[in-house]
Amino acid sequence: MSGAYPPKPSAQMGRSLSSVTALWTAVAIALIMAGYAVFQKALGPEMSWQDLFFQHLWHVVLLGGVIQLVCWLLLRHLLGQPLNQIYLHLYAVGKGHLDSIHISSNIRKIRSISEGINLMVWRMRQISELKALSSSCQEIRMIKKQMHRLAEHDPQLATIVTEQLELLEKNLLELSAEEPAGDACQETTRREPLP
């Protein structure tokens, strides 16, 4: 696989949501004011284009400035902060931190993205736990085989290890009773008598 891992974050690439919204809000306000100036010129041809331009310029600046500020504050609070939190959380998940995300937002799409991330993280944890359980069952099988060989040479050490193995079996059986793979694990952890 080519490329360095982990990939570098691309947060600095592209334009921010606020700047895109600000640009298109300014364009919309300018077009509306230009259309209104044309409409005014049609109704009152005695006004010059220069007068109409300066008359509407302060409308564009004042009205546009207020709308720009309100849009920027709303977008930053309602979308920018939650999206940044989601970005940072997903970056942490990519590094192996399987924690749930908690975002206090009343925006339905942000909440549904948050719930989707939590479901993904939960499934990743389940797969990780099942792999660990399966691996532990295999380890117990290998230890049992080694115990048979050890019992022939050092019965006292075999007894100590057997007690530790029984404790591990007990813990694993409690864990496997809660997991879908529990039956398979219980099958592999049945005690085999030492020779």
Per-residue pLDDT tens for 77-101?
A: 888 888 888 888 888 888 878 888 8
- Which residue's entry shows tokens 């799409």? 109
Residue 73 has pLDDT above 80, yes or no: yes
Compute the distance between CA of residue 135 and CA of residue 185 in angstroms, rounded to an integer. Answer: 10
pLDDT band at 166 (very low <50, low <70, confident <90, very high): confident
pLDDT band at 181 (very low <50, low <70, confident <90, very high): very low
Residue 151 has pLDDT above 60, yes or no: yes
* pLDDT for position 14: 73
* pLDDT for position 40: 78
The mean-pLDDT minimum among 10-19, 94-103, 124-133, 182-191 falls in 182-191
Of 128, 126, 131, 123, nearest in space to 185 by CA:
131
Q: What are phi and psi of 154, to 5 degrees?
A: -145, 85
By CB atoms closer than 10 A (0-12, 13-18, 19+), residue 68 is middle
Rg over CA atoms, the chain = 33
Query: pLDDT per residue over 15-34, tens digit each?
Result: 777 778 878 888 888 888 88
Mean pLDDT of all residues in the chain?
A: 75
Can you list the alpha helix ranges (DSSP code H) found in 44-107? 49-75, 81-94
Compute the distance between CA of residue 158 and CA of residue 164 in angstroms, rounded to an integer. Answer: 10
- Chain mean position to CA 187: 37
Compute the distance between CA of residue 140 and CA of residue 47 in angstroms, rounded to an integer. Answer: 94
